[in-house]
Amino acid sequence: MRDAACNLDIPVIDMQRWMEAHYDDGSLWWDRVHLSSLGPRLFAEGVFQERALLLRGADGGVTAAPCRS
C-alpha cells in the first residue's frame, strides 16, 4: 500500500508507529488483536493530528510514512 501511495504521491499515515509511541498511555488492547476502549480514541487522535499537519502542508509528524528509495 505504501508503494502504491508513493507512486501516486499520496501521503500515508503509519498508525502502527503512532500506537507504539503511546503504548504506555494505558491499556490499548484487550488481547493481541482487539483494541480496548482507549485504543480507538488514541488511534483517532493520531489520524486527526496527522491530517491537520498534512492539510497545513507539513510533512507529517511521528507517523508520516516515508517512501522507499
Q: What is the pLDDT along the chain (69 residues), one digit of tens a residue?
A: 888 888 888 888 888 888 888 877 778 878 878 888 888 998 899 999 988 888 887 665 555 666 765
pLDDT confidence of residue 45: 92
Residue 45 lies in a domain: yes
The reported pLDDT for the residue numbered 55 is: 84
Q: Domain for residue 23, yes or no? A: yes
- Asked whether residue 68 is domain-assigned, the answer is no
In a domain, 30, yes or no: yes
Q: Domain total for the chain?
A: 1
Nearest in space to 39 (alpha carbons), one of 63, 18, 60: 18
Please report the sign of the dihedral spanned by the C-alpha atoms of residue 32, residue 35, residue 23, residue 6.
Answer: positive
pLDDT of residue 37: 87
- Domain range for 47: 2-55
Whole-prediction pTM: 0.68
Does residue 66 form part of some domain?
no
Q: Is residue 8 part of a domain?
A: yes
